[in-house]
């Protein structure tokens, strides 16, 4: 292996700094009192407290999943603080009132949000350690009837909507981490697009975990009513701590008749250092329900961060002719581990799904695609196309593909393609012989490899994702 390849990927994490803002942190530990405390802090209605407690009791009965192809020491859930909020301040009416320290943090993150929001026409709902501190463009969205706010606010202002949809796609007892999230979630985003409304701009949220050893449990709920459409962007970055931090989010999407939801993620949580110390455990449940006819849910993810990624953004295709899509790039380096993929559950007639997964492994990392395509007996004429490609950089990393295909209807068509390739010395030499250096060559090969997924991202995100992959693979090439 050439030195170019050996040292390909040693970019220090650029977002490793701690914002010095007073936090209101709950004592460590988890029991019913913790949950009552969270609920009380947020002045929640009784039904939500019951939802949480039910989930918690369920969680106590459950076991951590052992099937993912990842290794990590047992998590001590009593050593985590389940609530952390910047000290209460008066409500902010505009960006000018946001703590300058906080704004500087976003500057460092490369998210000049006021400018970006204005220039790109993106409304940003900022989550900073569990509590929303500023919501922009809300007014403009409200004019067309769109609700875009923190989930805490939605619980206060639109309890009937939250009550109707919360837990309807990911039930409180769905899986170990979803149950935990349902019990202790602190904040997240809520988005409601009423009947017939096309959201006039991409909606965007930047999440950030800020207090050491405070797990972040976000809850996102997006509902698109009949004929509505929305594109939602999620970007994640976390500062650098040596202890592992748990991130167990739940995202639920609901698309009614003819509705269209596009959910894009660029995930760059702290991945740990080059020896595998520290980093985020990203155990996330994301699921969309195509409830109505002709509805469509599309997940696009670019996963480059986290010490461990465990997530399967899925689609339940219940409405006839509904469409589910999953486009994924997962890059792992150093000692990162990823077990990620999707589930496409076909229930309605003529439902269609597409899965395009690109896994890139470098260093000593391990990258697995795990996907389920299930065609139920009612899904006449269902179709699925899956393509899972893996690329290896260097000789010490691993790539795996675990496709599960269950077909219970004879009229279904399911296709699965997979490939594994390697960036080899000979490819790099070919580039070099044409005057092109190793770094540029790798970036070109990777971008070519990920093209089908990047095409699905909104323009600014695609640019960001391309840069991010370049950064992750940049280092002492040559």
Binding site for other proteins (CB under 8 A): 2, 421, 425-427, 429-437, 440, 444-445, 447-449, 451, 478
Query: Torsion angle of alpha carbons 18, 21, 27, 33, nearest 10°?
Result: -120
Of 115 and 426, which has the nearer Cβ to other proteins? 426
CA distance 193 to 322: 18
Of 100 and 435, which has the nearer Cβ to other proteins? 435
Write down the least CB distance from residue 167 to other proteins, Å: 41
Q: Which residues of 347-362 are buried (b: 16+ CB within 10 A; e: fewer)?
A: bbbbbbbbbbbbbbbb
CA distance 200 to 213: 38
Write down the least CB distance from residue 441 to other proteins, Å: 9
- Contact (CB, 8 A) for 324 and 263: no
5 closest CA partner among 444, 391, 394, 334: 394
Write down the least CB distance from residue 450 to other proteins, Å: 8
Write down the least CB distance from residue 27 to other proteins, Å: 51
Of 277 and 436, which has the nearer Cβ to other proteins? 436
Write the CA distances from 204 to 121, 192, 201, 299, 347, integer angstroms.
Answer: 10, 14, 9, 14, 31
Of 223 and 446, which has the nearer Cβ to other proteins? 446
Write down the least CB distance from residue 434 to other proteins, Å: 4
**Which residues contact residue 39 at a Cβ distance below 8 angstroms, ignoring those fewer than 6 apart?**
48, 49, 52
Of 94 and 433, which has the nearer Cβ to other proteins? 433
Write down the least CB distance from residue 5 to other proteins, Å: 10
Of 47 and 430, which has the nearer Cβ to other proteins? 430
**H or E stretch at 156:** helix 151-157
| Structure tokens given for 113 | 């949000």
- Contact (CB, 8 A) for 89 and 128: no
Write down the least CB distance from residue 324 to other proteins, Å: 25
Q: How far is CA 240 from its chain centroid?
A: 19
| Structure tokens given for 185 | 């979630």
Of 112 and 478, which has the nearer Cβ to other proteins? 478
Of 64 and 440, which has the nearer Cβ to other proteins? 440
Q: How far is CA 319 from its chain centroid?
A: 25
Radius of gyration of the chain (CA): 22
Write down the least CB distance from residue 421 to other proteins, Å: 7
């Amino acid at each position: 292996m050439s030195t170019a390849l050996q040292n390909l990927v040693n970019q220090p994490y650029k977002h490793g700094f701690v914002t010095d803002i007073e936090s209101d942190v709950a004592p460590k530990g988890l029991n019913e009192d913790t949950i009552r405390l969270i609920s009380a802090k947020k002045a929640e209605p009784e039904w939500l407290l019951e939802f949480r407690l039910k989930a918690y009791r369920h969680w106590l009965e459950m076991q951590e999943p052992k099937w993912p192809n990842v290794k990590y020491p047992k998590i001590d859930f009593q050593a985590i603080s389940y609530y952390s909020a910047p000290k209460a301040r008066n409500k902010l009416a505009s960006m000018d009132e946001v703590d300058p320290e906080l704004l500087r943090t976003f500057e460092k993150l490369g998210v000049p949000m006021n400018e970006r929001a204005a220039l790109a026409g993106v409304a940003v709902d900022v989550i900073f350690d569990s509590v929303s501190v500023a919501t922009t463009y809300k007014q403009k969205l409200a004019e067309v009837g769109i609700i875009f706010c923190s989930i805490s606010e939605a619980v206060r202002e639109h309890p009937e909507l939250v009550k109707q949809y919360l837990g309807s796609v990911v039930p409180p007892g769905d899986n170990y981490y979803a149950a935990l999230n349902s019990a202790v979630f602190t904040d997240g985003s809520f988005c409601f697009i009423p009947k017939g409304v096309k959201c006039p701009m991409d909606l965007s949220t930047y999440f950030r975990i800020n207090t050491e050893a405070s797990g972040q449990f976000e809850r996102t709920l997006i509902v698109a009513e009949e004929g509505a459409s929305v594109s939602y962007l999620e970007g994640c970055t976390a500062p650098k701590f040596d202890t592992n931090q748990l991130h167990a989010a739940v995202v639920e999407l609901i698309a009614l008749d003819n509705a269209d939801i596009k959910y894009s993620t660029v995930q760059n949580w702290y991945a740990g250092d080059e020896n595998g110390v520290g980093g985020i455990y990203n155990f996330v449940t994301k699921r969309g329900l195509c409830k109505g006819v002709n509805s469509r849910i599309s997940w696009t993810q670019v996963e480059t961060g986290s010490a461990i990624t465990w997530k399967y953004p899925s689609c339940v295709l219940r409405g006839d002719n509904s469409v589910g899509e999953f486009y994924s790039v997962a890059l792992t380096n150093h000692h990162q581990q990823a077990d990620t993929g999707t589930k496409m559950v076909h229930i309605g007639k003529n439902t269609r799904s597409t899965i395009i997964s690109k896994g890139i492994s470098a260093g000593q990392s391990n990258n697995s695609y795990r996907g389920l395509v299930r065609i139920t007996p009612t899904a006449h004429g269902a179709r699925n196309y899956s393509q899972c490609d893996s690329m290896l950089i260097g000789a010490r990393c691993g790539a795996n593909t675990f496709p599960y295909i269950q077909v219970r209807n004879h009229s279904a068509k399911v296709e699965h393609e997979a490939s594994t390739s390697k960036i080899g010395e000979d490819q790099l030499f070919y580039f070099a012989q044409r005057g092109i250096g190793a770094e540029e060559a790798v970036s070109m090969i990777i971008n070519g490899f990920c093209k089908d997924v990047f095409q699905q991202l909104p323009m600014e995100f695609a640019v960001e994702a391309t840069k991010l992959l370049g950064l992750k693979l940049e280092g002492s090439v040559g």
